[in-house]
Amino acid sequence: MSSKAGRDDDRAGSGSPAPYDGGDWAWEFLRRNADYIAEWRRSVPQHLPCITLNDGTKLLRLRRRFPQAEKWGLYAFADPRLCAHKETAFWHSNALKRVVRLNARKTNEAEANVRRLADFNAERHAVIGVDGVPLVVMKRNGVRVPLEIQGFPVLTAAFTPVYELHDLDDLTAQAELLRRLQRFTDADFAAFQKPPIASDERLHQALIALDESLKGKTYRQIAIAIFGEKKVTEEWHGHSQFLRDRTRRLVSKGTELMKGGYRDLLS
């Protein structure tokens, strides 16, 4: 398999069934990287099985580290043939910009602030590395919140959460993540929507530009794939050169994200 062929067709570049979050976009660009594909092909094993807990949480438990995968920001290699909606990329906590950290204390009957992971109305992916500390990623409608939980050996157990703040400089970022986490407990699932982000359209276009560039297409052909033949016919030879310049920038951005810039998309 090369970066140009053998890839799952159900991807953001050709339309996706649900909104993508930052981790999904990061995976879409990384899985097109030829060096990543080559290292995945050499990896043993190429696939690690997840189990689904009785509350619906998907869990990957690692008995050893995978340094080659960690180099790419992952706990373990994910299959680059599969898009973000068909493959779970377990991003390493060290690669994430922001993580909610909490201590899970043992509950008692007198406490009112008792939680279970199932209380959060979201898709949940968890990985437990060799350090034994679970990293639980909650996702819904294009929003994700990574949650690192100390003192929580049984993921389906009830716990009393005590949230950590490492310093005051971390206050604003943590407050935003905690607001998102709180919204995952909303009873009205349909009301929870991802706020509009203009960058999603640009990422979508950059992904198309990257795919077409990897196929050896010309800038004009790439522009047609993104903007449509009518618009390109009308504007390609225009005085401003705007469409040409925009296409070049999209190819450049897509290539940059594939080669490592995807890390900037991780929350």
Q: Where do runs of H (alpha helix) occur along the chain?
A: 22-30, 34-42, 67-70, 171-183, 199-214, 219-227, 229-235, 242-258
- Cα–Cα–Cα angle for 142, 250, 18, rounded to 5 degrees: 20
Neighbours of 11 (CB within 10 A): 22
Residue 136 has pLDDT above 60, yes or no: yes
Nearest in space to 177 (alpha carbons), one of 104, 99, 114, 238 = 99
Among the residue ranges 9-23, 131-145, 203-217, the one predicted with the least confidence is: 9-23
Q: Show the tokens assigned to 253.
A: 């951005």
- Cα–Cα–Cα angle for 46, 91, 152, rounded to 5 degrees: 105
Q: Which residue has the tokens 């008692």?
A: 108
What's the mean pLDDT in 50-55?
95
Average pLDDT, the chain: 88
pLDDT in tens, 58-87: 999 999 999 999 999 999 999 999 999 999
Residue 4 has pLDDT above 50, yes or no: no
Query: Rounded to an integer, what distance in angstroms lies between the CA atom of residue 114 and that of residue 70?
Result: 34
Which residues, 6+ apart, have CB-to-CB distance to 131 below 8 Å?
A: none
Query: Rounded to an integer, what distance in angstroms lies between the CA atom of residue 224 and that of residue 257?
Result: 22
Domain boundaries, the chain: 199-265
pLDDT band at 6 (very low <50, low <70, confident <90, very high): very low
What's the mean pLDDT in 138-164?
91
